Amino acid sequence: MNFNPTDDRRMLADLLARYVAEQYPIATRHAIAAASPEGYDPQQWRAFAELGVIGALFTEEQGGFGGAGFDIATVFEALGRGLVLEPFLASAVLAGSAIAHAGGVAWHDTLGAIIDGSRVATLAHEEPESRYELQRVATRARREGEGYVIAGRKAVVPLGGAAQLLVVSVRTAGEVADAEGISLFAIPADTAGVRVRRYPQHRRNACRRGQLRRRARPCQRAGRRRG
Protein backbone atom coordinates (compact mmCIF):
# COMPACT_ATOMS: atom_id res chain seq x y z
CA MET A 1 0.00 0.00 0.00
CA ASN A 2 1.28 3.44 -0.95
CA PHE A 3 1.15 5.81 2.01
CA ASN A 4 2.65 8.76 0.13
CA PRO A 5 0.13 11.63 -0.21
CA THR A 6 -1.02 12.54 -3.70
CA ASP A 7 -0.40 16.02 -5.13
CA ASP A 8 -4.02 16.97 -4.46
CA ARG A 9 -3.75 15.93 -0.82
CA ARG A 10 -0.47 17.83 -0.43
CA MET A 11 -2.13 20.94 -1.84
CA LEU A 12 -5.10 20.52 0.50
CA ALA A 13 -2.81 19.99 3.50
CA ASP A 14 -0.72 23.08 2.63
CA LEU A 15 -3.80 25.25 2.02
CA LEU A 16 -5.48 24.21 5.25
CA ALA A 17 -2.31 24.48 7.35
CA ARG A 18 -1.71 28.00 6.00
CA TYR A 19 -5.31 29.05 6.65
CA VAL A 20 -5.29 27.72 10.23
CA ALA A 21 -1.95 29.39 10.97
CA GLU A 22 -2.98 32.77 9.53
CA GLN A 23 -6.74 32.96 10.13
CA TYR A 24 -7.25 30.69 13.12
CA PRO A 25 -4.49 31.43 15.66
CA ILE A 26 -4.94 30.14 19.20
CA ALA A 27 -6.22 33.55 20.41
CA THR A 28 -9.03 33.38 17.82
CA ARG A 29 -9.85 29.86 18.90
CA HIS A 30 -10.08 30.88 22.57
CA ALA A 31 -12.26 33.87 21.71
CA ILE A 32 -14.70 31.65 19.81
CA ALA A 33 -14.78 29.12 22.66
CA ALA A 34 -15.51 31.82 25.22
CA ALA A 35 -18.12 33.83 23.35
CA SER A 36 -19.94 31.79 20.71
CA PRO A 37 -23.38 30.51 21.75
CA GLU A 38 -23.12 27.82 19.07
CA GLY A 39 -19.74 26.58 20.28
CA TYR A 40 -18.13 27.45 16.92
CA ASP A 41 -17.91 30.41 14.54
CA PRO A 42 -20.45 30.24 11.65
CA GLN A 43 -18.28 32.62 9.58
CA GLN A 44 -15.26 30.37 9.97
CA TRP A 45 -17.43 27.37 9.07
CA ARG A 46 -18.51 29.05 5.83
CA ALA A 47 -14.89 29.97 5.08
CA PHE A 48 -13.80 26.34 5.51
CA ALA A 49 -16.63 25.31 3.18
CA GLU A 50 -15.51 27.83 0.52
CA LEU A 51 -11.99 26.42 0.75
CA GLY A 52 -13.43 22.99 -0.06
CA VAL A 53 -12.40 21.48 3.26
CA ILE A 54 -15.83 19.99 4.03
CA GLY A 55 -16.08 18.66 0.48
CA ALA A 56 -12.80 16.80 0.96
CA LEU A 57 -14.59 14.54 3.47
CA PHE A 58 -17.07 13.24 0.87
CA THR A 59 -16.72 11.22 -2.33
CA GLU A 60 -17.49 12.61 -5.78
CA GLU A 61 -20.70 10.55 -5.89
CA GLN A 62 -21.79 12.26 -2.66
CA GLY A 63 -21.00 15.73 -3.99
CA GLY A 64 -17.46 16.12 -2.66
CA PHE A 65 -14.03 15.38 -4.08
CA GLY A 66 -12.34 13.07 -1.57
CA GLY A 67 -13.93 10.92 1.09
CA ALA A 68 -11.15 8.35 1.43
CA GLY A 69 -9.42 7.66 4.72
CA PHE A 70 -6.34 9.58 3.56
CA ASP A 71 -8.47 12.66 2.76
CA ILE A 72 -10.11 12.58 6.19
CA ALA A 73 -6.73 12.12 7.90
CA THR A 74 -5.25 15.05 5.93
CA VAL A 75 -8.08 17.37 7.00
CA PHE A 76 -8.15 16.35 10.66
CA GLU A 77 -4.38 16.51 11.06
CA ALA A 78 -4.47 20.19 10.12
CA LEU A 79 -7.59 20.87 12.19
CA GLY A 80 -6.01 19.20 15.21
CA ARG A 81 -2.95 21.43 15.03
CA GLY A 82 -5.19 24.48 15.38
CA LEU A 83 -7.62 22.91 17.89
CA VAL A 84 -10.35 23.97 15.46
CA LEU A 85 -13.83 24.09 17.02
CA GLU A 86 -15.97 24.01 13.88
CA PRO A 87 -18.26 20.93 13.57
CA PHE A 88 -16.35 18.79 11.08
CA LEU A 89 -16.80 15.63 13.12
CA ALA A 90 -20.44 16.13 14.18
CA SER A 91 -21.84 17.58 10.95
CA ALA A 92 -19.72 16.13 8.15
CA VAL A 93 -18.28 12.85 9.41
CA LEU A 94 -21.04 11.57 11.71
CA ALA A 95 -24.30 13.04 10.37
CA GLY A 96 -23.12 13.54 6.78
CA SER A 97 -21.70 10.06 6.32
CA ALA A 98 -24.79 8.50 7.96
CA ILE A 99 -27.02 10.28 5.43
CA ALA A 100 -24.69 9.45 2.56
CA HIS A 101 -24.62 5.73 3.34
CA ALA A 102 -28.24 5.28 4.39
CA GLY A 103 -30.09 7.82 2.28
CA GLY A 104 -28.77 7.36 -1.24
CA VAL A 105 -29.40 9.72 -4.14
CA ALA A 106 -32.63 11.13 -2.72
CA TRP A 107 -30.59 12.95 -0.08
CA HIS A 108 -28.05 14.66 -2.36
CA ASP A 109 -29.57 18.11 -1.73
CA THR A 110 -29.24 17.61 2.03
CA LEU A 111 -25.64 16.49 1.63
CA GLY A 112 -24.98 19.47 -0.64
CA ALA A 113 -26.18 21.84 2.09
CA ILE A 114 -23.87 20.17 4.61
CA ILE A 115 -20.92 20.34 2.20
CA ASP A 116 -21.44 24.01 1.32
CA GLY A 117 -21.75 24.92 5.01
CA SER A 118 -25.31 26.26 4.79
CA ARG A 119 -26.72 23.53 7.03
CA VAL A 120 -25.19 22.05 10.17
CA ALA A 121 -26.31 18.55 11.13
CA THR A 122 -25.59 16.16 13.96
CA LEU A 123 -26.13 12.48 14.74
CA ALA A 124 -28.38 11.85 17.73
CA HIS A 125 -27.82 8.23 18.70
CA GLU A 126 -26.89 7.81 22.36
CA GLU A 127 -29.68 7.53 24.93
CA PRO A 128 -29.76 7.94 28.72
CA GLU A 129 -30.03 4.17 29.24
CA SER A 130 -27.88 2.93 26.36
CA ARG A 131 -24.68 2.57 28.45
CA TYR A 132 -22.48 2.56 25.33
CA GLU A 133 -24.36 -0.39 23.78
CA LEU A 134 -24.66 0.89 20.22
CA GLN A 135 -27.61 -1.33 19.31
CA ARG A 136 -29.67 -0.30 22.37
CA VAL A 137 -32.25 2.12 20.95
CA ALA A 138 -35.49 2.76 22.86
CA THR A 139 -36.68 5.76 20.81
CA ARG A 140 -39.51 4.47 18.64
CA ALA A 141 -41.41 5.47 15.52
CA ARG A 142 -44.90 4.49 14.47
CA ARG A 143 -46.41 5.21 11.11
CA GLU A 144 -49.26 7.70 10.97
CA GLY A 145 -50.68 8.50 7.56
CA GLU A 146 -47.83 9.32 5.19
CA GLY A 147 -45.35 10.08 7.97
CA TYR A 148 -44.17 8.87 11.35
CA VAL A 149 -44.65 9.87 14.94
CA ILE A 150 -41.43 9.53 16.96
CA ALA A 151 -41.23 9.37 20.75
CA GLY A 152 -38.07 9.11 22.86
CA ARG A 153 -34.99 10.81 24.25
CA LYS A 154 -31.40 11.21 23.10
CA ALA A 155 -28.54 12.28 25.36
CA VAL A 156 -25.11 13.88 24.95
CA VAL A 157 -25.76 14.90 21.36
CA PRO A 158 -22.71 16.70 19.94
CA LEU A 159 -23.75 20.15 18.73
CA GLY A 160 -27.31 19.28 19.76
CA GLY A 161 -28.03 22.87 20.72
CA ALA A 162 -26.81 24.39 17.44
CA ALA A 163 -27.54 21.91 14.63
CA GLN A 164 -30.35 22.67 12.18
CA LEU A 165 -30.80 19.02 11.19
CA LEU A 166 -30.92 16.04 13.54
CA VAL A 167 -30.12 12.59 12.16
CA VAL A 168 -31.82 10.39 14.73
CA SER A 169 -31.56 6.64 15.27
CA VAL A 170 -35.04 5.25 15.90
CA ARG A 171 -36.39 1.76 16.43
CA THR A 172 -38.96 0.75 13.84
CA ALA A 173 -38.95 -2.98 14.65
CA GLY A 174 -37.82 -5.40 17.33
CA GLU A 175 -36.94 -5.00 20.99
CA VAL A 176 -34.84 -2.32 22.67
CA ALA A 177 -31.54 -4.25 22.58
CA ASP A 178 -31.95 -5.89 19.15
CA ALA A 179 -29.22 -5.21 16.60
CA GLU A 180 -31.81 -5.16 13.79
CA GLY A 181 -34.77 -2.88 13.25
CA ILE A 182 -32.98 0.48 13.66
CA SER A 183 -33.75 3.27 11.16
CA LEU A 184 -32.38 6.78 10.68
CA PHE A 185 -34.71 9.79 10.50
CA ALA A 186 -33.69 13.27 9.35
CA ILE A 187 -35.57 15.77 11.52
CA PRO A 188 -35.28 19.57 11.25
CA ALA A 189 -34.40 20.89 14.70
CA ASP A 190 -37.30 23.34 14.65
CA THR A 191 -39.89 20.58 14.17
CA ALA A 192 -42.87 20.87 16.49
CA GLY A 193 -42.46 18.48 19.42
CA VAL A 194 -38.65 18.51 19.45
CA ARG A 195 -37.23 19.89 22.71
CA VAL A 196 -33.53 20.53 23.22
CA ARG A 197 -31.79 21.17 26.53
CA ARG A 198 -28.49 22.90 25.78
CA TYR A 199 -25.41 22.77 27.97
CA PRO A 200 -21.70 23.49 27.43
CA GLN A 201 -19.34 20.54 27.19
CA HIS A 202 -16.52 22.53 28.77
CA ARG A 203 -16.48 25.35 31.28
CA ARG A 204 -15.40 27.84 28.58
CA ASN A 205 -18.22 26.78 26.28
CA ALA A 206 -15.90 25.07 23.83
CA CYS A 207 -18.62 22.88 22.42
CA ARG A 208 -22.36 22.90 22.82
CA ARG A 209 -24.05 19.60 23.45
CA GLY A 210 -27.69 18.87 23.97
CA GLN A 211 -30.27 16.46 25.27
CA LEU A 212 -33.27 15.91 23.01
CA ARG A 213 -36.83 14.93 23.79
CA ARG A 214 -39.21 14.45 20.94
CA ARG A 215 -42.70 13.60 20.01
CA ALA A 216 -42.61 14.86 16.47
CA ARG A 217 -44.28 14.05 13.23
CA PRO A 218 -43.00 15.31 9.91
CA CYS A 219 -40.35 12.86 9.74
CA GLN A 220 -38.46 11.59 6.75
CA ARG A 221 -36.66 8.29 7.05
CA ALA A 222 -33.17 8.43 5.62
CA GLY A 223 -32.56 4.70 5.77
CA ARG A 224 -32.46 1.72 8.01
CA ARG A 225 -29.89 -0.74 9.19
CA ARG A 226 -31.82 -4.00 8.92
CA GLY A 227 -35.19 -5.44 9.89
Which domains does the chain show, CATH number per domain? 7-115 (1.10.540.10), 121-224 (2.40.110.10)
Q: Which residues of the chain have pLDDT under 70?
A: 1-3, 201-227
pLDDT at 203: 47
Q: What is the CB neighbour count within 10 angstroms for residue 108?
A: 16
Q: What is the CB neighbour count within 10 angstroms for residue 87?
A: 27
- The answer to whether 178 touches 197, Cβ cutoff 8 Å, is no
How far apart (Å, rounded) are the C-alpha atoms in residues 150 and 152?
7
Distances (CA, A) of 110 to 10, 149, 183: 29, 22, 18
How far apart (Å, rounded) are the C-alpha atoms in residues 158 and 141?
22
